[in-house]
Amino acid sequence: MLFIAVAMISSCIEKIDIDAGNGEPQFVIDASIVYDPLDPNKLIKDTIKITKSIGYLDNGETPKVNDATVLVIDSTGGNFVVDTFKNVGNGNYISLTNKPQPLHSYILLVRFSTGDTVISFTKINRPCITYGDTSLTTLVLNDQSVGRTGPGGPLKSGWGYVDMKVSDPAGLGDSYRIKYFVKRNPVASNPYFTESKGFTGWTYYDKINNLITVSESNSGDQSPNSQLEKEALFNFPVARSINVVEDDISLRPAYYPGDSIKAEIYSITRENLFFYVRLKTELTNGTGGGFSGLFATPVTNVPSNIFPFGNSKIKVLGWFGASHKMTITTKMTNFDFNIK
HEC string of 201-237 equals CCEECCCHHHCEEEECCCCCCCCHHHCCCCCEECCHH
Q: Do residues 51 and 37 lie in contact, with contact meaning Cβ atoms separated by under 8 Å? A: no
Q: Do residues 308 and 117 lie in contact, with contact meaning Cβ atoms separated by under 8 Å? A: yes
Question: Per the domain annotation, does 314 fall within a domain?
Answer: no
The answer on 208 and 95 residing in a single domain is: no
Instruction: Say yes or no to pLDDT of 99 above 90.
Output: no
The answer on 155 and 113 residing in a single domain is: no
> What was the pLDDT predicted at 43?
79
pLDDT, tens digit, 9 for 90 and up, residues 5-56: 444 444 455 544 444 455 577 899 999 999 998 887 887 776 899 999 876 5
Question: Per the domain annotation, does 244 fall within a domain?
Answer: yes
* Of the candidate ranges 1-15, 68-82, 105-119, the one whose mean pLDDT is the lowest: 1-15
Band of pLDDT at residue 284, cut at 50, 70 and 90:
confident
Q: Do residues 230 and 223 lie in contact, with contact meaning Cβ atoms separated by under 8 Å? A: yes
Task: Quote the pTM value.
Answer: 0.79
The answer on 155 and 75 residing in a single domain is: no
Short-list 333, 312, 299, CA closest to 159: 333
Short-list 98, 95, 74, CA closest to 86: 95
CA distances, 315 to each of 66, 106, 112, 303 (Å)? 18, 21, 12, 11
Q: Mean pLDDT, the chain, as a whole number?
A: 75
Question: Per the domain annotation, does 239 fall within a domain?
Answer: yes
The answer on 80 and 28 residing in a single domain is: yes
- Beta strand 149-150 with 153-154 is antiparallel
Any bridge partners for residue 29, and if so which? Answer: 50, 318
Where is pLDDT greater, at 221 or 86? Answer: 86
Question: Per the domain annotation, does 312 fall within a domain?
Answer: no
Question: Per the domain annotation, does 245 fall within a domain?
Answer: yes
Question: Per the domain annotation, does 302 fall within a domain?
Answer: no
**Strand intervals (E) in 46-185:** 48-52, 69-74, 81-84, 86-87, 92-94, 105-111, 117-123, 139-143, 149-150, 153-154, 160-164, 167-168, 175-183
Last residue of one domain, picked from the residues 61, 93, 124: 124
Question: Per the domain annotation, does 234 fall within a domain?
Answer: yes
Instruction: Say yes or no to pLDDT of 93 above 80.
Output: yes
Q: How many domains does the chain have?
A: 2
The answer on 100 and 33 residing in a single domain is: yes
Question: Per the domain annotation, does 309 fall within a domain?
Answer: no
The answer on 158 and 249 residing in a single domain is: yes
Short-list 285, 271, 282, 281, CA closest to 319: 271
The answer on 202 and 58 residing in a single domain is: no
The answer on 202 and 155 residing in a single domain is: yes
Mean pLDDT for 198-221 is 69
Q: Do residues 339 and 136 lie in contact, with contact meaning Cβ atoms separated by under 8 Å? A: yes
Question: Which domain covers residue 236, as residue numbers?
Answer: 139-268+327-339
Last residue of one domain, picked from the residues 124, 152, 177: 124
Band of pLDDT at residue 57, cut at 50, 70 and 90:
low
The answer on 189 and 92 residing in a single domain is: no
The answer on 182 and 94 residing in a single domain is: no
Mean pLDDT for 69-98 is 92
The answer on 256 and 332 residing in a single domain is: yes
The answer on 157 and 223 residing in a single domain is: yes
Last residue of one domain, picked from the residues 124, 147, 178: 124
Q: Do residues 225 and 218 lie in contact, with contact meaning Cβ atoms separated by under 8 Å? A: yes
